[in-house]
Amino acid sequence: MATKFILSLLAVASLVQSIPLIPRANVWETLPPTPLLPAPINNVKAPINGVNLWFQKYNEARGGTPIVLIHGGLGYSAYFGDVVSRLMEKHYVIAVDRRGHGRSTFNAADTFTFEMFAKDTDDLLKAQGVSKAVWVGWSDGAATTLAGLLDSTINRSITKAFVFGGFQKPSDTNATFTDTSVYSTFVSRCATEYAQLQPGVDFMSFATKVATLEGTLPNWTDAQLAKIDGSKVTVAGAEHEEAVNLAVAPHLASVIPRSKLVILPDVSHFAPVQNPAQFTAAIEAFLVA
């Protein structure tokens, strides 16, 4: 979403972290602490397409079609932690760290694309014997979900899709996003977390790949998105969305035929950490819609 901003922010990350937090009344202007995934946390990674992908199944005994949670750019599955703990009470849930993110590896020569992330996700599920899944994507994970829905080799295995904070082109990014304190807090926090999750791996080389991805892709026309079978798609937006232009979620819902639109109140692009109960309820409503 902004190569130069990510890079300059990293340079001042320690400075940003030392600025005392200003108390704020509105949850949509905050980035609550990164949630914890339910314990114990897996060490298992699956070798997929030349990388090792971290994933974890929750409440597999519940059976049925699993719900796959696909996190956003620079982050990892833990950002969905409070949603996982709620959702797994009644559902089989799978969390996946996308290539390069969280505990999953990447290759120096990789050029990240949303199609690559979608294929990694689908191939991981197939390797786990999962032939059908519900995909829930957030931000870059939402673009990954749209890429999966657009790919005829993948879309038959997606039974339903919940697309939160998604976009179809780089100019869908809100021009003031990088000015927000939530953004600077998020990027510097991701750098700190990455050093713990993948000691010795260069966050800058990873973040540069993400910034290049977000600066150039996706690149979908309305006509392409119109090929998606929207009867299985819910497009979700946030009332106070600050990362993606406010018109984008309604636009995606208008061009994906038969898709549904929900706008989550009182939250921003970071809804899954700001109000995980509301986010989980929205997924559960989508599952039965």
- CA-derived radius of gyration, the chain: 17
**Residue with smaller CB distance to ligand NAG, 174 or 274:** 174
Cis peptide before 40 (omega within 30 of 0): yes
DSSP for residue 257: T
**Residue with smaller CB distance to ligand NAG, 46 or 246:** 246
Site for ligand NAG in 51-90 (CB under 6 A): none
Query: What's the one-letter identity of residue 99?
Result: R
Q: According to the binding rule CB under 6 A, does residue 228 interact with ligand NAG? A: yes
Spell out a b/e string for 24-35, using b for 16 or more CB atoms within 10 Å of the CB, else e: eeebbbbbeebb
Residue 146 structure tokens: 């749209």
Q: How far is the CB of 94 from ligand NAG (least distance, A)?
A: 21
**Residue with smaller CB distance to ligand NAG, 83 or 271:** 271
Q: According to the binding rule CB under 6 A, does residue 31 interact with ligand NAG? A: no
Q: According to the binding rule CB under 6 A, does residue 209 interact with ligand NAG? A: no
**Residue with smaller CB distance to ligand NAG, 89 or 179:** 179
Q: How far is the CB of 162 from ligand NAG (least distance, A)?
A: 15
Q: According to the binding rule CB under 6 A, does residue 216 interact with ligand NAG? A: yes
Site for ligand NAG in 143-202 (CB under 6 A): 149-150, 152, 155, 174, 176, 180
Residue 83, classified by CB atoms within 10 Å of its CB into exposed (0-12), middle (13-18) or buried (19+), is buried
Q: How far is the CB of 149 from ligand NAG (least distance, A)?
A: 6
**Residue with smaller CB distance to ligand NAG, 227 or 260:** 227
Say if residues 169 and 225 touch (Cβ distance below 8 Å). no
Partnered with residue 133 across adjacent β-strands are: 158
Residue 228 structure tokens: 């998606």
The helix/strand/coil state of 216 is helix
**Residue with smaller CB distance to ligand NAG, 66 or 218:** 218
In whole angstroms, give the CA distance from residue 142 to residue 119. 14
What residues make contact with ligand NAG under the rule CB under 6 A?
Answer: 149-150, 152, 155, 174, 176, 180, 216, 219, 227-229, 242, 245-246
